Amino acid sequence: MKFDTPAGANPIDRMRVVGQPLDRIDGPRKVTGTATYAYEWHDVAERAAYGHVVGAGIAKGRLASIDISAAERAPGVIAVVTAANAGPLGKGKKNTASLLGGPQIEHYHQAIALVVAETFEQARAAAGLVRVAYVREPGRYSLTREIPHAVTPQESEIPPDSEVGDFEGAFAAAEVTLDATYTTPDQSHSMMEPMASLADWDGDRLTVWTSSQMIDWWRSELARTLGIHADKVRVVSPYIGGGFGAKLFLRADAVLAALGARAAKRPVKVALHRPLIPNNTTHRPATEQRIRIGASRDGTITAIGHESWSGDLPGGGPEPAVQQTRLLYAGEHRMSRLRLATLDLPEGNAMRAPGETPGMMALEMAMDEMADRLGMDPVEFRIRNDTQVDPEQPGCPFSQRQFVECLRQGAARFGWARRKPHGSVREGRWLVGMGMAAGFRNAPVMKSGARARLDGDGRVTIETDMTDIGTGSYTIIAQTAAETMGLPVEAIEVRLGDSDFPVSAGSGGQWGANSATAGVYAACMKLREVVATRLELDPSTAEFFDGRVHADGRSVPLGEAAGDGQIVVQDAIEFGDLDERKQISTFAAHFVEVAVDALTGETRVRRMLAVCAAGRILNPKQARSQVIGAMTMGVGAALCEELVVDDGRGFFVNHDLTSYEVPVHADIPEQDVVFLDEADADSSPMKAKGVGELGLCGVPAAIANAIHNATGIRVRDYPITLDKLIDHLPGAA
């Protein structure tokens, strides 16, 4: 199905199943422990052995020697794999560093060996017997030190430079200006389920049960790394315990499991132990951002500039932290720049809402600072500078933009009018304040396919390699099929996460739900046409509801078209250029109340509200869950999350969940989520967009702005920990 004109009326508009707050159909399996995650496959491959990964102990250099003889003699050991005996290996196009290092070491904890044994305990013990001698080389580990050497990136998700009008001249002439620098730290994904894989060879054919957000990407990248044809690789990942972008790209556990299974001549299971994950896998890279805003005294922005510096390994790319600034606010004169420093730290890459999350941590704090300088309310300042067109391309309107409505509804619901001047509200030893920030994320789409099967009993089975990373893909896909075919959701079976199924969009970048359900819709519409034709009904007038097909004065049970067999169809949604003719984006307004201890600087978040305009909401219960999870992640980004760099040795010091702090239940207060009524016909036949990343963008800045309102202290370096506040607090006075 080609989607190149805005969606008209279609079966999804009935909203009998789609748009309803249904419970997750995979929920019972998850709470009973019968949903199988990557490390839990026990009955698909006989006599599975266990692999334990050895990570490099230096950040840059080479292996002088690696002695595996003691490990090979250890009890239960079957094989030890290193780069020296693994055979020729390629590198995936989406991997910056090799997933098995040696002799060159590209980053700390890069995998350099896999010890395979009969039990996990034997593999772990033997891994400690691997003896490695290194030759260290000087490395670059400090973003601050490398910023003077940063360059315009050759590879970037967005053009690294943009300019409209005369930014420098307009900024210099502005009546009120802000020129401030903000920093965000390296951050870890910290998903519940670690990276894990079980690999099994059947002759020259490889099956990997793993934890992957993007099945087809992994299949092709694994084949490329191993030097085999993609048709020889099957990837299975029906349940995933979180990813946040860390599982978008092939990781070392899958490659090493495949190599270990080949060496051991039996299935091998590998999990990356938690302390290995921050350095071995990807992370959100640190940024330094300079924002300049110029405005007239009435609050109209005349100049807005955003420059961001980040770092990555050679061959990597920048954190696209300026992309929201190019679209969110009006301003005749504009400039943005991305610069990339070469660092020898582990790979920086996608983490939930890459670009907008750190970018809005800076931009939305700057907008509050500018509102203060103007003496304007922060909500009104944002409303004053709304735009209904792409500011860089005025001929390109937004398909829908209810940003102002998000702001106004949010302010009314949250009681924003009761907000007091900075540092003026005190409850005992607590300083209390309110803050807000905009939320913004584009709504990309991607080609997505599905297969639909109709049985004689009127049941429909959907097969697609789409993944469920905890977001509810099973349920919204079932709802889509049920709505389109006129069936109850109980009559739909959904099978996901297998490369034997049609290729989908996968889960990531806020493109997953909209794209994948549109692909299922395309397959079901094709199935409707075949069914009507078999029943000798006019497909153009046939209506599907109550498990029957109605047309030409007849009403026939749906299953009758399949008879004693099945009808099987396959289709995909292919998107045209609507997203080039209109800017398709999602918007939110985040409001937060905090209390800061006047003696210790401890910050407690008391209330949170998100008002979102994100197209048609396919399942309000699941969408709310996504947003409150994202809001929780925003608390971490604002107050505690930071991978601390040892800039002498080049690694993240706090590489476990003991020392890398994330929010816990006691940190999270009352959270409220409101979705505005919206159906975007330019987005897809579903008229949806996405919410999973929108719910995070802006939350850290709203917290930072609330802290400033509570204390009068402006901290521009995240996370806002008590040590950055305590010397400036009023204490008990």
| pLDDT value of position 385 | 98
Residues of the chain with CATH 3.30.365.10: 2-35+445-577, 355-443+584-728
The pLDDT value given to residue 157: 87
Question: Distance between CA atoms of 228 and 222, rounded to whole angstroms?
Answer: 8
Helices 252-264 and 215-226: crossing angle, nearest 10°? 50
pLDDT of residue 155: 85
- The neighbouring-strand residues paired with 341 are 311
Q: How far apart are CA 542 and CA 308, in angstroms?
A: 55
For 165, which DSSP code?
S
User: pLDDT of 315-343, one tens digit each?
Assistant: 999 999 999 999 999 999 999 999 999 99
Amino acid letter for position 629? G
What is the structure's pLDDT at 156?
A: 87
CB count in 10 Å sphere of residue 401:
20
> CB neighbours of 440 closer than 8 A, spacing ≥ 6?
324, 327, 328, 356, 360, 403, 585, 586, 587, 588, 694, 697, 698
Euclidean distance between CA atoms 582 and 625, whole angstroms: 29
Look at residue 463 in the predicted model and tell me its pLDDT.
99
CB atoms within 10 A of CB 160: 21
pLDDT digits (tens, 9 = 90+) for 333-378: 999 999 999 999 999 999 999 999 999 999 999 999 999 999 999 9
- How far apart (Å, rounded) are the C-alpha atoms in residues 122 and 187? 33
The CATH number given to 2-35+445-577 is 3.30.365.10
Beta-sheet strands, E only, within 430-584: 430-442, 448-455, 460-463, 492-495, 543-545, 548-551, 554-557, 566-575
Q: How far is it between the farthest Cα atoms of the chain? A: 85
Which residue type does 418 have?
R
| Angle ∠(370,591,410) on CA atoms, nearest 5 | 100
pLDDT digits (tens, 9 = 90+) for 219-265: 999 999 999 999 999 999 999 999 999 999 999 999 999 999 999 99
Residues of the chain with pLDDT under 50: none
How high is the pLDDT of residue 732?
Answer: 52
> Which residue carries 């089975």 as its tokens?
461
Q: Could you tell me the fold of the domain covering 355-443+584-728? A: Aldehyde Oxidoreductase; domain 4 (3.30.365)
C-alpha span between 633 and 179 (Å, rounded): 28
Q: Residues with catalytic annotation?
A: 693
CA dihedral 23, 25, 27, 28 (to 10 degrees): 110
